[in-house]
Amino acid sequence: MKASVVYFKLGLRNILKNRRRSFVTLFSLAAGFSAIALFTGYTSYVYQGLALHAISGEMLGHLTVAKKGYALGSQMDPERYFFSSAELSQLTRTLETESNVDFVSPRISIQGLFSNGTASVVFIGEGIVADHVNRVRKAIADESGLPMPPLKMDGGASAIVATDLARIMGVKPGDSAVLFASSLSGMANAVDIEVADTVNTGAQATNDKYVLIPFSHAQSLLDTEGASRVQVMLKDPAEIDLHRVRVEQLLKESGLDVEVKTWVEMSNSYQPIRNLFNMIFLFIFSIVLTISITSVINTMGMVVVERTREIGTLRALGMHRSQVINLFSVEGMLLALLGGFVGILTSVVLAQLVNRLDMSYVPPNFSEKVALQVDIQLPQLAVIFVFFLLLGTLAALVPAWNASKRRIVDALGHV
């Protein structure tokens, strides 16, 4: 214990003795720490936003239940991959027996022509139960604090139209339109709708063609009493993969041949964007790691050169090689420790500054602005801090090891 205190005092004294060099090293470590912490906080905020967009914006819920092969086969033979009315009832009853299931919401995917009476354009959309979607939006709004007003689908024929589609077709809330589509049997069909509201989908790919209509109207349009798939909302979405397996097994035991996928698997944007950010983080991390290691090794190397005769004296007085290594390792650890503390303070201050500036931007392929926020979290800072502490200690081992191997006579005669 006393030896550790001595190492600590000597290390701190040597850091203060070479203030200018120590300051440069501290600045390098603190800047590297802040860069990693801020980018980690930014990506954390982006991931949270993407998750909320997938669950609520894309209306994927937590789990999606469909017949096996639905993703590929439904385009060529939609009727084969639809749940019948009896299957839908059985599926709903079975899912509601699972304690972690909050509610079950049937969905129908639709596509066809959107007409304002003068012109027609291609549309894609969903038949939804508005009450279910609004429950999800309210829950996410309460959890995240983000504004998520309920969908206005009060009337039986009311529909929600994407903002760009409404602008292209010249319709606004209160106007009427017609949706044309093929029924499951291949017959042409149409339903009248009233535009209840417009909403930005958040994605350029869908904001000029997306329509939401009541589930019963979607059934009428496709001439069916069933659903194409079912969305499942969980009470506790933690460890969602385990819940997916449990739900799939439960439905299999009830005689339903289905596949269950999580919102991560169903989302078109979440995983690709996350993979991109992970690659960017790896690139930034590699640069910061190289600079930080080089800085510590350079500083400790200069210290070893300047204190070679001191090392020889200590070795002549009986200090072991391991003690020499410990002495310089503690000094490197202290540099990393101080750099980490400065990095934490800098990261917190800069994060607060960025968040207060209320900046926003439009990401590629998005149709609306996204807030530029940094979500600094204590566990993330703790992991980065421990990493930098180990980094500083290990980086100091290289010059410390070289110093311990020098012959005592050569060290004492060093000029």
Domain boundary among 217, 238, 266: 266
Residue 223 lies in a domain: yes
67/49 same-domain check = no
166 within a domain of the structure (yes/no): yes
Q: For the chain, what is the domain count? A: 2
The residue range of the domain holding 223 is 63-266
Identify the pLDDT of residue 316.
Answer: 75
- Do residue 83 and residue 68 come from a single domain? yes
Report pLDDT for 178: 92
pLDDT at 48: 87
Closest by CA position to 350, among listed 44, 43, 41: 41
**Does residue 388 sit in the same domain as residue 248?**
no
Among 225, 248, 266, the domain boundary falls at 266
- Residue 221 and residue 157 share a domain: yes
- Per-residue pLDDT of the chain (415 residues), as tens digits, is 566 676 677 667 777 777 777 787 788 888 888 888 999 999 988 888 888 888 887 788 899 999 888 777 667 777 888 898 999 999 999 998 888 888 899 999 999 999 998 899 999 999 988 888 888 877 777 766 666 667 777 666 788 999 999 999 999 988 999 999 988 888 889 999 899 888 888 788 888 999 999 998 899 999 899 899 999 999 888 888 898 999 989 998 888 888 999 999 888 888 888 898 889 888 888 888 888 778 777 777 776 676 667 677 766 777 777 777 777 777 778 888 888 899 899 999 999 999 998 888 887 777 778 888 898 888 888 988 888 888 777 777 777 777 667 666 665 655 5
Q: Are residues 75 and 37 in the same domain?
A: no
**Domain-located, residue 58:** no
pLDDT at 3: 62
- Strands, E assignment, 152-257: 158-162, 176-182, 188-199, 210-214, 229-234
Question: What does the angle CA 64 – CA 131 – CA 135 come to, to the nearest 5 degrees?
Answer: 70
Q: Which helix (H) or strand (E) segment is 123 a member of? A: strand 120-128
- Which residues 6+ apart lie within 8 Å of 218 measured at CB? 108, 110, 126, 127, 128
Q: In angstroms, rounded to a whole number, what is the distance separating the alpha carbons of residues 295 and 392?
A: 9
Residues 176 and 239 in one domain: yes
Residue 32 lies in a domain: yes
Answer whether residue 33 is part of any domain.
Answer: yes
pLDDT for 2: 62
| Residues 199 and 71 reside in one and the same domain | yes
In a domain, 341, yes or no: yes
116 within 8 A of 170, measured Cβ to Cβ: yes
Whether residue 129 is found in the same domain as residue 258: yes
Q: Are residues 187 and 313 in the same domain?
A: no
Are 101 and 141 contained in the same domain? Answer: yes
Closest among 213, 227, 177, 203 to 65, alpha carbons compared: 227
Same structural domain for residues 229 and 245? yes
Q: Are residues 104 and 221 in the same domain?
A: yes
Tell me if 195 is assigned to some domain: yes
Quote the pLDDT of residue 409. 65
The reply to whether the predicted model has a pTM over 0.95 is no
What residue ranges in 276-400 does DSSP mark as E strands?
360-361, 370-371
Q: Choose one of 251, 266, 281: the last residue of a domain.
A: 266
